[in-house]
Amino acid sequence: MQEITMMRQSGRREARRAAGGIRQMGFGGVVNRYPPIALLSEDEVHSIHLASLDLLARTGMEVMHGESRKLLKAAGADVDEASQRVRFDPAMIEEIIRSAPSSFTLHARNPARDLRVGDGSLIFAATGGPAFVSDLDRGRRAGNYRDMCDYIKVVQSLNVIHQEGGCPCEPTDLDPDSRHLDFYDAAIRLTDKTWQCWALGRYRVEDALDMLAIALGQSRDELRRKPATLTVVNSNSPLRLDIPMGRGFSPWRGPANR
């Protein structure tokens, strides 16, 4: 039975190849016209917001990266260098929240693939960074450079995927300190959509910005005005920002470091 199923699946794949690929709608943005489902009342949401402000003001966060503490102190946070504890005034946080734009455009190598972020826009992005890959022909295995490139090509070919999400699989056959360069190079060559860079250390963010500037024919200052990538900075539990994430936190300021 398993062999029959695999033969049918293989037959369907061959039929799609012969027909010139799958049928799909054109690439385009998706906007959610409906308000979010209100699971909580406005009063309950406000109570959670006030509780989070109180937690950050009283308990604060442990910020292990020294330069990040300096930046937060300059922005108005209370910093205890001995404990690496940073506490945030609620008014400071709410002021920063108000300064965030309601939306912005993320610029792709192909302008037809630009994405609107915010104001109800929905972006379907591919996953980023799994250590293993799997397909019907070769099964489950450790990710490698060839698989990474193959999955980027899949991301490019499917209009329902708006963005490459930060390396479709970890290329474990490459050196950990430089594999981000191979990923950025593949993303630039194999897709004209936007892609997410890595924030694990400042140099990985700096390299992404430099390579994007070259690929787009722009300066770093132009990238400030027309952003072309984004990344994710994760905190550790409980309430801790570690050094690699801190280094990826602010690539525009100060001397580059790893």
Tens digits of per-residue pLDDT, 22-55? 899 999 889 998 888 899 999 999 999 999 999 9
Query: At 163, which helix (H) or strand (E)?
Result: strand 163-164
Length of the chain: 258
* 168 and 134 Cβ atoms separated by less than 8 Å: no
Tens digits of per-residue pLDDT, 115-172? 999 999 999 999 998 999 999 999 999 999 999 999 999 999 999 999 999 999 999 9
Kindly tell me the burial class for residue 203, based on how many C-beta atoms sit within 10 Å of its own C-beta (0-12, 13-18, 19 or more): middle
